[in-house]
Amino acid sequence: MSLKPNYSSRSRSEKVADECSRIVSTGPIAQYVCWEAVLYVLYIKNVISKSKFEAMKQDTKAEQFRDLFPMMCSVLKTQQDLLDLPRGCILGFFKRRPGSNGQWFLAHAMIYVGNGQAYGTNNSAIGQSPAWGAIRLDDLSVFSWDSPMSFSYAEVGNSGSRPDVEVRYRDIDDFNTLGCAIM
């Protein structure tokens, strides 16, 4: 009897979550900004094709994020919401751009791996190491899980500010949520 896990019966999200710990921070992922790193993991786990990876990598910007995080994706309201997420969800940290009539922009992106942890790169945006690695989001001192939720976002010339933030999540295995399934 084989002790190897049966990967064919596991969800794509589970496979993505498991891959995060195997990625070397000095490898290919080091060349990407945070949301490109998320896309890269989805690509190497065959969630998106190479052409979709290249297109989304070119198209996704702080202000242009709807292909990666459609507006109808769910928003975390509490710390318990985070803990209840399925492994492998992608997380988008959004804040409002000053002077833009309150328009949201994508400030950071990560992959949730369970138990309050998420992997990402360029995590200095939320007060952590810039290298690819795991962060415990449920007990970070940079987070305030009060309402409205906020976090320390390291902006040039405005470090340590605590703007209101929205954390949206997208379950890559949920094909029933309109606009929230990556194809």
Q: Is residue 175 part of a domain?
A: no
Element (H, E) at 54: helix 50-59
Q: Is residue 33 part of a domain?
A: yes
3-state helix, strand, coil in the chain (%, to 5): 25, 20, 50
50 CB-contact burial (10 Å; exposed 0-12 / middle 13-18 / buried 19+) = exposed
pLDDT of residue 32: 94
Q: What is the pLDDT of residues 92-131, one digit of tens each?
A: 988 877 776 778 888 889 999 999 899 999 887 777 788 9
Q: What is the pLDDT of residues 146-177, one digit of tens each?
A: 665 666 555 544 555 666 678 899 988 763 44
Question: Residue 5: how many CB atoms within 10 A of its CB?
Answer: 10
- Which residues fall within 8 angstroms of residue 149, CB to CB, at 6 or more apart? 76, 77, 143, 164, 165, 166, 167
Q: Could you tell me if 90 and 172 are in contact, meaning their C-beta atoms sit under 8 angstroms apart?
A: yes
As for how many domains the chain has, the answer is 1
Range of the domain at 124: 11-170
Question: How much is the average pLDDT of 64-78?
Answer: 84
Q: Is residue 2 part of a domain?
A: no
Q: Is residue 4 part of a domain?
A: no
CATH of the domain at 19: 3.90.1720
Q: What is the pLDDT of residues 11-59, one digit of tens each?
A: 888 899 999 999 999 999 999 999 999 999 999 998 888 999 999 999 8
Q: Could you tell me if 19 and 45 are in contact, meaning their C-beta atoms sit under 8 angstroms apart?
A: yes
* Strands ordered across the beta sheet of 90-96: 133-136, 117-120, 104-114, 90-96, 165-170
